[in-house]
Amino acid sequence: MSGTRTDGRVERGRRTRRLVLGRTMEIASVEGLEGLSLGRIATELGLSKSGVFALFGSKEELQLATIRAARAVFAEHVVRPTEEVPPGLEQVWRLCQGYLAYSRERVFPGGCFFFTVSAEFSARPGPVHDAVASARAEWLGFVEDTIEQARAAGALRSGVAARQLAFELVALLEMANVQSVLFGDSSGYEAAESGIRARLRAEARGRAAAVLGTAGADADA
């Protein structure tokens, strides 16, 4: 019986943790991680402050847990769909389209969670800065690795500068996100798709660029 009670408490703790992190990710994507506090979350969700404190212990740990949770959500929406296709130009294109959909569909109400918190903590040293920087480095590294794999598969020219191309693609993706969030203007997504398509075509080998379609075909899809 005691084991059953313990299991019940553990599961309730997990549910509460998921509930809290779901809300903190929403808040942070709009207001930044400094908008989080144990008291605020407890009040908004109708929880006891002591219960929230028992789960996270401090504002900083709440911020760090929120970053970890957001990384998992980002991976689910942007990274995981690329596993459905083999290395090549289609995989690079799928990755870019995944990010644009993640921003356009407002998986987080403030657009890209990591763009928001990166601007907030870029010049502030400490564990939260390091966690944000690690997430950003992982994302940029993943884009670069995906490009490298496409090159190795023969879809991109052998001399492609993967790091530079990754930088350019991410810049286009994030500009679309900013324009949409700041101005309520979705045209940036089409502009980003057009720019990304042009850059990938310029680096493609042979018939590999066929997977990119055309601007008109994408609009009709």
The number of distinct structural domains making up the chain is 1
> What domain range is 124 assigned to?
64-220
Rounded to whole angstroms, the Cα distance separating 108 from 110 reads: 5
In-domain check, residue 166: yes
In-domain check, residue 34: no
Residue 207 has what pLDDT?
87
Distances (CA, A) of 191 to 87, 172, 186: 25, 8, 9
Residue 30 has what pLDDT?
97
Beta bridge partners of 204: 156
Provide the token pair at 217.
């075909």
The whole-number average pLDDT for the span 183-205 is: 96
* SS3 state of residue 156: strand
Residue 12 has what pLDDT?
80
Residue 219 has what pLDDT?
37
Long-range contacts of residues 40-49, Cβ cutoff 8 Å, at least 24 apart: 45/19, 45/20, 47/16, 47/20
Residue 217 has what pLDDT?
40
Residue 9 has what pLDDT?
73
Q: List the end-to-end C-alpha distance of the chain, in Å, as a whole number.
A: 56
For residue 220, pLDDT over 50 is answered with no
For position 131, which CATH number holds?
A: 1.10.357.10
With 0-12 / 13-18 / 19 or more C-beta atoms within 10 angstroms meaning exposed / middle / buried, residue 148 is: middle
Residue 208 has what pLDDT?
85
pLDDT band at 206 (very low <50, low <70, confident <90, very high): confident
In-domain check, residue 24: no
For residue 1, pLDDT over 60 is answered with no
DSSP 155: S
For residue 221, pLDDT over 80 is answered with no
Residue with tokens 């066929």: 210
Q: What mean pLDDT is reported for the chain?
A: 92
Rounded to whole angstroms, the Cα distance separating 178 from 183 reads: 8
In-domain check, residue 122: yes
Q: What is the pLDDT of residues 56-86, one digit of tens each?
A: 999 999 999 999 999 999 999 999 999 999 9
Q: What is the pLDDT of residues 122-177, one digit of tens each?
A: 999 999 999 999 999 999 999 999 999 999 999 999 999 999 999 999 999 999 99
In-domain check, residue 30: no
The whole-number average pLDDT for the span 7-25 is: 87
Residue 117 has what pLDDT?
97
Residue 216 has what pLDDT?
45
In-domain check, residue 94: yes
Q: List, in sequence order, the alpha helices (H) in the chain.
A: 2-31, 38-45, 49-56, 59-74, 89-104, 113-121, 127-152, 162-183, 187-203, 215-220
Residue 85 has what pLDDT?
94
In-domain check, residue 22: no
In contact, 25 and 117? CB cutoff 8 Å: no
pLDDT band at 2 (very low <50, low <70, confident <90, very high): low
In-domain check, residue 205: yes
